[in-house]
Structure 1
């Protein structure tokens, strides 16, 4: 789905700026709303953190005059924040464009494991990025701070495997010129951000660091490029790159058919081309409580490999998955250090969550002997 504006009306800069006339014309142009029908925003509600630092995300309640066609009464809109400085900082990474292009060119190949897109407007040269997607209802989002049980982790990995299997060594990876390799130049800044953050992190959270992980804490930035190169080695697929519980939507536990329903993914701004290691390492070591990971890690990796095979992947072994998993888990340590060094300390939920993530990472670094990868 691709919609270019065939109107002189300006797209909204903020959720509050959404105009009923613009919305109607955009939906008609996208084929989501029949001609001569009209849409009206009856109300809007901020979702998640509301006006986050990268995007505004809100639920829109809609009314219609005339035939609404396939449009539901409630949708989610996602647009960049109205901050030129933030947009300029993120421009080289093409985060907004990546998510829009994902919905235009890849999402429809994943059945119901992603929200349906009602409207996608991508005009990068003009800085226009608008997503109008399905409002997920009837289930529950994961909670990274709370973690999850082994059954939820298994279902999440089945969805991860479905994503990876669909694009495994696919020619589409070359055709997707909006999909960067995990080791593209923009990602190399991860090591620089770690170097800039580690002293502040130590000053604030020294008590969270295990001395047994000193080699990783002190030198991982020196190995960031090599780790990215390892994660870029074949076999390649389309990875989510932010596969964590807060970005996963689970079937309602009260649903007797819940086991048969897939876990669904949201937030595709960082999709990349890589082997599976980062998604595996990031999810298993940062979203699962340590005891759950320790008790079920091997079984979960085995289920992931089996699901890949069921999706048509051949020749990828459990040993391959273990190695890639360890590489991904090690590189993923950069994220909590950078985030916590720059965290708004007035947000208690975020602070508690990231402290929990750090403790999980520290335990995983010892359990998986991740220092061996850089020693």
Structure 2
């Protein structure tokens, strides 16, 4: 199937081929808002059919990023290949909801497309505003479902990188080291002095942190579980939560997703007041889902490691990507500020 080089290459005939049925009278592409799809280019395609019975009135198209800096990072980490592969191979194995994909393709040059269900009637979370406790609870429940679906069941998925000892792990460590100067240059006012003072110790510890988050039991890690990828149901018939952007999935300890959510996206006051309850909710949810080998105590200890390792991700994002616009800068600065505060609150530097 042909991969459009840009949104301008999309035609009614191409959409018809992807959907597999129906005859279109017209299409209209509406670019999605500022700050949406930072690593990709995204548009809503409004569809006018000759006979619209049982056919979607709109779809979402996702292509490779137009921003050269962000596209290069996407290629380095195989983000597009992993997302296409997730929807083809893994989405059918879980009831944790993500948008339905009508068609997808990727080539050796990392050109790709995903033609997906339009879920723009859902409310997108805001990493700038930060997650409430109610939103955190919905997200933790989603992770219980996602992680339980793949608990120690990924040995056959060869394209999925491991948290440690993989090219992805090496790139994260190198990206953290290379990105720290830009982090300081652009976001320095949000970086705690306590963390910057231990830069070299932190960089040296990254492989060990990765290894600690790559021990049995292993499951599917979403890898970018932040508020801008959460879509909250608003209407009758909506799911309570849909999650998008599966460009960074990994094999490893699922607590990484929980730590990433709470230290990057939760309002700081919400995290401080409710994080122990939320960790208990996660561990007990797994037990109720039939997972018997992950205690609350183990989850809490791993959570602190996850919060500390989340700084690696924060540095790679803020230190190597182009914020592109004011909203990009706003959510990145909140991510850095919240993660640094959480590391200090939980005395995570003592784990180095």
Give the TM-score taking structure 2 as reference length: 0.90
SS in 1 for 2:224: coil
Aligned match of 2:257: 279
Looking at structure 1, the residues matched to 264 and 279 of structure 2 have their Cα atoms a distance apart, in angstroms, of 15
Aligned match of 1:251: 233
> Residues 227-265 of structure 1: CA distance to partner in whole angstroms, max 9, x if unpaired?
11111111111110000110001122xx6898xx43110
Looking at structure 2, the residues matched to 369 and 241 of structure 1 have their Cα atoms a distance apart, in angstroms, of 23
Structure 1 position 145, deviation (Å): 1.1
Structure 1 position 190, deviation (Å): 2.0
Q: Within 5 Å, which residues of 2 pair with 1:118-197?
A: 118-122=102-106, 124-125=107-108, 127-170=110-153, 173-183=154-164, 184-197=166-179
Looking at structure 1, the residues matched to 279 and 172 of structure 2 have their Cα atoms a distance apart, in angstroms, of 27
Looking at structure 1, the residues matched to 82 and 57 of structure 2 have their Cα atoms a distance apart, in angstroms, of 27
> Residues 342-364 of structure 1: CA distance to partner in whole angstroms, max 9, x if unpaired?
56577322223222222212221
> Residues 317-341 of structure 1: CA distance to partner in whole angstroms, max 9, x if unpaired?
0111112211221111123334334
Aligned match of 1:213: 195
Aligned match of 1:11: 3
Aligned match of 1:359: 337
Unmatched segments (≥5 aa) in structure 2: none
Q: Which moved more, 1:180-189 or 1:107-116?
A: 107-116
Q: Does residue 1:373 correspond to 2:337, yes or no? A: no
Maintained 8 Å contact 1:14/1:81: no
Specify which of 2, 7, 12 is matched with residue 20 of structure 1.
12
Maintained 8 Å contact 1:215/1:371: no
Maintained 8 Å contact 1:78/1:131: yes
SS in 2 for 1:113: coil
Aligned match of 1:99: 83
SS in 2 for 1:273: strand
Structure 1 position 316, deviation (Å): 0.7
RCO higher in structure (CA 8 A, sep ≥6): 2
> Residues 153-202 of structure 1: CA distance to partner in whole angstroms, max 9, x if unpaired?
101110011100100111xx122222111221233122222222323433
Maintained 8 Å contact 2:176/2:319: no
Q: Within 5 Å, which residues of 2 pair with 1:217-232?
A: 217-232=199-214
Structure 1 position 114, deviation (Å): 0.9
SS in 1 for 2:99: coil
Aligned match of 2:220: 238
Looking at structure 2, the residues matched to 27 and 346 of structure 1 have their Cα atoms a distance apart, in angstroms, of 33
> Residues 79-121 of structure 1: CA distance to partner in whole angstroms, max 9, x if unpaired?
2246888766644532212111111122123336211112223
Give the TM-score taking structure 1 as reference length: 0.85
Unmatched segments (≥5 aa) in structure 1: none
The RMSD of aligned alpha carbons is 2.6
Looking at structure 2, the residues matched to 54 and 257 of structure 1 have their Cα atoms a distance apart, in angstroms, of 30
Looking at structure 2, the residues matched to 44 and 370 of structure 1 have their Cα atoms a distance apart, in angstroms, of 47
Looking at structure 2, the residues matched to 194 and 148 of structure 1 have their Cα atoms a distance apart, in angstroms, of 26
Maintained 8 Å contact 1:41/1:60: no
Q: Does residue 1:47 correspond to 2:12, yes or no? A: no
Give 1 or 2 for the bigger CA radius of gyration. 1
Maintained 8 Å contact 2:16/2:24: yes
Q: How many residue pairs align between the two structures?
A: 351
Q: Within 5 Å, which residues of 2 pair with 1:35-114?
A: 37-39=22-24, 41-49=26-34, 54-66=39-51, 68=52, 70-81=54-65, 90-91=74-75, 93-111=77-95, 113-114=97-98
Structure 1 position 127, deviation (Å): 4.5
Looking at structure 1, the residues matched to 110 and 183 of structure 2 have their Cα atoms a distance apart, in angstroms, of 34
Looking at structure 2, the residues matched to 108 and 151 of structure 1 have their Cα atoms a distance apart, in angstroms, of 28
